[in-house]
Structure 1
């Protein structure tokens, strides 16, 4: 860390429903910060309830940025988010506030702390072909095609991960090179900031209970009406917003192919499985972080039990000049 030349930012990371937003707001209040969204689904305008975006009471406690800023019809990318996040961080710093980036999308954090590969623009034809194959043949078949085109990247992706498979396939046919090959080449590099992070890592049982409770609150808060309005836009089902946790399940219920009880059970199960992958990603990166990042690890609830020591650590990091 170079110290004097770089301002400080805080990362609050962890799985869905682990309490990140509550901690980020507490830190913002105590340290004079601004909360910046680092969740790939909370950027979509139409997904306020189903993604548990901060409500009016939360927004009144501290400045927030990058929540609900993109229409569901336009797929967000890590490169787009990085540019928007850097602009929001600069604005917070100019206002005398500490940027506090909060979310569960590991790729977004990596885009800041490690940089992004310099992949050229993908031709529209390649994008359309990848989406067509995904819609007509399904993700498993697209994965098999990717194995032939780019076996290195295919080995890193699950056959059910349709969005990342489509991205990898469009890169392969649109550039003639595999996604991993581009990533190894390098690109933007780390953002010129000093980063410190806290990673929430709840016990599985507590997290499952939190997911179920949050789903019940979403239904009470209007999630079904929100998904109905989204369905009325007739968007491409491969768009990220259409695949947000709870959206496919409630769409199936609205089509009459699944009861609300079954849709709820499926949404809770799928979300729980996703949080396992999130926790694994963060645990791996927390154990071997980039040299530019200092991690202060936290477990479930420790931000209330040890809030003073955590705040002292972050305050010292923010004030450090060399």
Structure 2
């Protein structure tokens, strides 16, 4: 019998956490967090990580599994998620993927390509070029050699621009061609994935939520959280952890390159850009079930959607 894994996704600030509680009230779920930021320890406020109480009430997996000095990849997520899905079903529970890192979800469902491994020398060279020219110029360079990848990246998305250029310089092939050659996802588990996507009917309302949420993070102590990372001395802006939206802008403030008000405004703008990219990714999945994240009955609609795939007890 084919087993169904539910994925609850959507752009940042869409209200995914609240919807997971509605699902957990009906089924014995364990949450597999699908997020490239909440994997890091010491990064709680700016990642909107579930509270200790939330983690105690519903099992969460893949939180706090890396130090900010370490890296994590889509391949690592696929391996971890596959192991967890199998174990959760064996325990008689239901695996609920929840998060907005859609590259992880795509890799889990569709498989991975054998991308070239990262090379520190090329990354250092790209960082140096970006320091001289700026990331928008690097984005233009990417558009020349890999227009498909460049079209889905923002001009200041330094981490992804760097990786795409790195792959091209190592292999001579654009990243988009590697993705087309992805290995099919393993079929052994005979899993079906049902995607429930919380998306806004009014983009400006989501933008207001994003701004309000970031201001709340500042009030909760985000500045102190980033300062603690800054004072460690072993972290830097080239690392994926510090490049997380909302962190890198405060890092710039701590380095003296902008005022705190400017950093906050830049972080809000960057988060809006992230939400736009997430929505672009989601629209490529024609089979997802879309629920308006601004609908007051959204939780009930999420439960109704899930009930088509998991039996109510």
Q: TM-score, normalised by structure 1?
A: 0.85
1:153 to partner: Cα distance: 4.0
Moved more, 95-104 or 188-197: 188-197
Q: In the alignment, which residue of structure 1 is the partner of 2:297? A: 305
Question: Corresponding residue for 1:174?
Answer: 170
Task: Output aligned runs, 1:91-170, within 5 Å.
Answer: 91-146=87-142, 149-150=145-146, 153-154=149-150, 156-170=152-166
**Contact preservation (8 Å) 2:116, 2:170:** no
Greater CA drift, 14-23 or 183-192: 183-192
SS at match of 1:30: coil
Aligned-residue CA RMSD (Å): 2.5
Report whether the alignment pairs 1:231 with 2:239: no
Compared with structure 1, are the counterparts of its residues 127 and 306 closer, same or farther at alpha carbon in structure 2 (3 Å cutoff)? Answer: closer
Task: Confirm or deny that 1:207 pairs with 2:199.
Answer: no
Q: Deviations over 1:207-264 (max 9, x none)?
A: 1232223223212222111100111234231222212222122223334443333332
Which residue of structure 1 lines up, in the alignment, with residue 66 of structure 2?
70
Using the size of structure 2 for normalisation, the TM-score is 0.87
| Unmatched runs of 5 consecutive residues or more in structure 1 | 290-294
Checking the alignment, whether the CA contact within 8 Å between 1:9 and 1:99 is kept in structure 2 is yes
CA apart distance, 1:117: 1.3
| Superposed displacement of residue 312, structure 1 | 3.7
Question: 1:29/1:131 Cα in 2 relative to 1: closer, same or farther (>3 Å)?
Answer: farther
1:245 aligns with 2:237: no
Going from structure 1 to structure 2, the CA distance change for 1:161 and 1:57 (only over 3 Å counts) comes to same
- 1-side partners of 2:231 and 2:268: how far apart? 24
- Which digits, 9 at most, give the CA deviation of each residue in 1:92-118, with x for residues without a partner? 222211111111122111112222212
Provide closer, same or farther for how the CA distance between residues 119 and 218 of structure 1 changes in structure 2, counting only shifts above 3 A.
same
Gaps of 5+ in 2: none
Q: Is residue 22–residue 299 contact of structure 2 (8 Å, CA) maintained in 1?
A: no
Native 8 Å contact 1:129 1:170 kept in 2: no
* 2:291/2:298 contact within 8 Å kept: no
Whether the aligned pair in 2 keeps the contact of 1:45 and 1:68 (CA below 8 Å) is yes
Distance change (3 Å), C-alpha of 1:135 and 1:277: same
Q: State whether residues 9 and 98 of structure 2, in contact with CA within 8 Å, keep that contact through their aligned partners in structure 1.
A: yes
Matched residues, number:
308
